[in-house]
Structure 1
Amino acid sequence: MIDIIASRSYYLATFLLLGIGTYIMIASKNLVKKVIGMNVFQTGIFLFFIASAYIDGAKNPVIHGEGPYVSPLPHVLILTAIVVGVSLTAVALGLIVRIYGEYGTLETDVLEEVRADE
Structure 2
Amino acid sequence: MAERSILAYFNSPDQAEDALSKLKSLRIIESSIDRIDGYPGDGIDHIDNPITSDFPGLGYLTLGGDFSDRDASILAAASVSASGMSSGGTENRVTGRDILLTVVLQEEDYEQAMQAVRDAGALL
Q: TM-score, normalised by structure 2?
A: 0.25
The higher radius of gyration belongs to 1
Structure that is richer in helix per residue:
1
Higher relative CO (Cα under 8 Å, sequence separation at least 6) belongs to 2
- Give TM-score, length-normalised by structure 1: 0.26
